[in-house]
Structure formats: C-alpha cells, structure tokens
Amino acid sequence: MLILTCPSCGVTGEETEFHAGGEAHIKRFGPGSDDDQFHSYLFAKENPKGVHFERWRHNNGCGKWFHAARDTMTLEVFGTYPAQTLEPPKQIRDKITAKHPGWKWREFS
C-alpha cells in the first residue's frame, strides 16, 4: 500500500485516503488544435516501467489535488508536491536521479 503525504494539509496517509487522478503535467489543447494534438492530449498517456509523475487527490482529507512522483515497478514514492507546479521540483528529481541514473519522462529528466 502506498503512503503519501499531502503537500496541501501536510497529512501523511495511506493510499485509501487518496485517489489517483492519472498522468500529471499534461499539456491541454483547446479549439483550433489539430488531430495529433487532441490525440496526444486525450489518449497517448505516459505508461512508463519506472518513474512516473501523476495527479492525486486527498479525497478523505482536505480534498485538494497534488502531484506525486512514483516508481511503477517498486511502488516507491519519491515525493509529493503542489498541483500548482509546472514541473517536478529539483529536490525530487535529484532523489530520482540518485536511484535511477539517466531516467527520462517526457520532457523531464
């Protein structure tokens, strides 16, 4: 079972207190975008074996959305950070690099 810390209210809780909301840092496309852009926004999700960034919501708590960095092979949680962040903080990326040198996730490394 995952143990996550909500960056909004600071509470550390078990997975059942939270709800996963899919891939994080998705670039949204609106009217006027072409088929490829809509396709990648709606369907072409990251599905890595390893480092993954995703959105979570503190359902049975403060109710706020936040981001988490996690390993899909080992279920290790590298850290959580506020939803109002455009990319993962350096501190979390350094932590991941220490564990998985040379990892890549879309535009981040």
Q: Please report the beta strands in the chain, taking only residues with DSSP state E, as ranges in sequence order.
A: 3-5, 12-14, 19-23, 51-57, 65-71, 77-82
CA dist 41 and 30 (Å) reads 10
87 binds other proteins (CB under 8 A): no
Residue whose token pair is 């995703």: 54
> In whole angstroms, how far apart are CA 27 and each of 38, 40, 47, 59, 105?
10, 9, 16, 24, 14
The one among 9, 44, 62, 91 contacting other proteins by CB under 8 A: 44
List the x/- string, 20-39, binding to other proteins by CB under 8 A.
Answer: x--------------x---x
CB of 21 to other proteins, least distance (A): 9
Smallest distance from other proteins to CB 94, Å = 23
Q: Residue 74 interacts with other proteins (CB under 8 A)?
A: yes
Stretch that binds other proteins, among 16-24, 25-33, 78-86, 88-96 (CB under 8 A): 16-24
Please give the Cα distance from 58 to 17 (Å, whole number): 6
Binding site for other proteins (CB under 8 A): 1-2, 14-16, 19-20, 35, 39, 42-45, 47-49, 52, 54, 70, 72-75
